[in-house]
């Protein structure tokens, strides 16, 4: 399982367009889930929030605008970037799209290359470790492309799980992650892992981060979880 691949929810009611987009997203290394209407999209987001949503404007049942509005008013999904796809290019639509909280807006017919660039631009903001970014926190540097981590210039030895944990922390320093959130992010939802497993790997990560000295940068927040810094 490759939980580091960012997940994209593709909401498009035209099967041919859905297929082309899904194909290109998968070829670019994304995990793709598709929905053919707004209702299904909302249900899928409830099950597991994706890293990004590509949302067609005109959908049967619940429209794309309504899906966007609903997701952007909920605290749990507000941060998920939404790129709206629309066949209509009028400025008024663009404005409505932005008022519903959509993060970007692409007019059909779009170039797939441009759309992929927009997808990456959104993820660079919200999930930098998934698009080959270099993350830095204090004297720790993590390169998600080469999977190398250094502290004060010295290479650190990290297991794959510890690497994913550290990427998660480094994406949002200071944020407190509950054990359940870390499980979802690092192990994925499909696997049953006890929350105590998280503690075990946090222990290993702490050890790894201090293997050449330095203070433990991870903070245990009683009753809440863990945070970096
Ligand atoms: Ca449509």
Same domain, 173 and 121: no
How far, CA to CA in Å, does 140 sit from each of 172, 174, 198, 213?
A: 14, 14, 21, 12
Is 41 within a domain?
yes
Task: Tell me if the pTM is above 0.75.
Answer: no
Whether the per-residue pLDDT at 3 is higher than 60: the answer is no
Q: Are 176 and 225 in contact (CB under 8 A)?
A: yes
- The alpha carbon of 154 and the centre of ligand 1 are apart by a number of angstroms equal to 52
Among residues 86, 112, 129, the one where a domain terminates is 129
| Full domain range(s) for residue 66 | 7-129
- The alpha carbon of 122 and the centre of ligand 1 are apart by a number of angstroms equal to 22
- The alpha carbon of 63 and the centre of ligand 1 are apart by a number of angstroms equal to 9
- The alpha carbon of 35 and the centre of ligand 1 are apart by a number of angstroms equal to 11
pLDDT digit string, tens, across residues 10-68: 999 999 999 999 999 998 889 999 999 999 999 999 998 899 999 998 898 888 888 99
Same domain, 15 and 108: yes
Same domain, 137 and 124: no
The pLDDT confidence band at residue 193, using thresholds 50, 70 and 90, is: confident
Same domain, 122 and 137: no
Same domain, 121 and 15: yes
Same domain, 26 and 74: yes
- The alpha carbon of 70 and the centre of ligand 1 are apart by a number of angstroms equal to 18
- The alpha carbon of 48 and the centre of ligand 1 are apart by a number of angstroms equal to 23
Same domain, 145 and 215: yes
The pLDDT confidence band at residue 96, using thresholds 50, 70 and 90, is: low
- Output the pLDDT for position 97: 63
Whether the per-residue pLDDT at 93 is higher than 70: the answer is no
Same domain, 114 and 25: yes
Same domain, 153 and 203: yes
Least confident of 31-35, 123-127, 139-143, 158-162: 123-127
- Output the pLDDT for position 2: 39
The pLDDT confidence band at residue 90, using thresholds 50, 70 and 90, is: low
Among residues 129, 152, 185, the one where a domain terminates is 129
The pLDDT confidence band at residue 95, using thresholds 50, 70 and 90, is: low
Whether the per-residue pLDDT at 5 is higher than 60: the answer is yes
The whole-angstrom separation of Cα 210 and Cα 49 is 33
Residues sharing a CB contact under 8 Å with residue 80, sequence separation 6 or more, in sequence order: 45, 49, 50, 51, 52, 53, 71, 126
Is 1 within a domain?
no
- The alpha carbon of 75 and the centre of ligand 1 are apart by a number of angstroms equal to 27
- Output the pLDDT for position 9: 97
Same domain, 172 and 214: yes
We report the CATH number of the domain holding residue 83 as 3.40.50.2300
Percent of the chain with pLDDT over 90: 58
Same domain, 191 and 79: no
Q: Are 17 and 45 in contact (CB under 8 A)?
A: no
- Output the pLDDT for position 199: 96
- The alpha carbon of 78 and the centre of ligand 1 are apart by a number of angstroms equal to 23
> Average model confidence (pLDDT) for the chain?
89
- The alpha carbon of 114 and the centre of ligand 1 are apart by a number of angstroms equal to 19
- Output the pLDDT for position 4: 65
Whether the per-residue pLDDT at 209 is higher than 70: the answer is yes
- The alpha carbon of 12 and the centre of ligand 1 are apart by a number of angstroms equal to 6
Domain total in the chain: 2
Same domain, 69 and 47: yes
Residues sharing a CB contact under 8 Å with residue 185, sequence separation 6 or more, in sequence order: 3, 164, 168, 177
Is 2 within a domain?
no
């Amino acid at each position: 399982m490759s939980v580091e691949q960012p997940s994209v929810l593709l909401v498009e009611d035209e099967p041919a367009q859905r297929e082309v987009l899904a194909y290109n997203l998968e070829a670019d290394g994304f995990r793709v889930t598709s929905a053919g209407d707004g209702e299904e999209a909302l249900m899928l987001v409830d099950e597991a929030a994706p890293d990004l949503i590509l949302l067609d404007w005109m959908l049967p049942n619940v429209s794309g605008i309504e899906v966007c509005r609903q997701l952007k008013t909920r605290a749990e999904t507000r941060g998920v970037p939404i790129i709206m796809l629309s066949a209509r290019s009028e400025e008024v639509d663009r404005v409505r799209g932005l008022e519903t909280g959509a993060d970007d807006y692409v007019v059909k017919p779009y170039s797939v290359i441009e759309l992929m660039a927009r997808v990456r631009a959104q993820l660079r903001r919200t999930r930098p470790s998934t698009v080959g970014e270099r993350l830095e926190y204090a004297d720790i540097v993590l390169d998600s492309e080469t999977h190398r981590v250094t502290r004060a210039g010295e290479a650190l030895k990290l297991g794959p799980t510890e690497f994913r944990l550290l990427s998660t922390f480094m994406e949002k320093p200071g944020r407190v992650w509950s054990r359940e959130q870390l499980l979802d992010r690092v192990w994925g939802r499909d696997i049953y892992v006890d929350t105590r497993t998280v503690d075990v790997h946090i222990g290993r990560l702490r050890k790894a981060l201090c293997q050449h000295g330095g203070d433990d940068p991870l903070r245990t927040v009683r009753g809440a979880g863990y945070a970096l810094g």
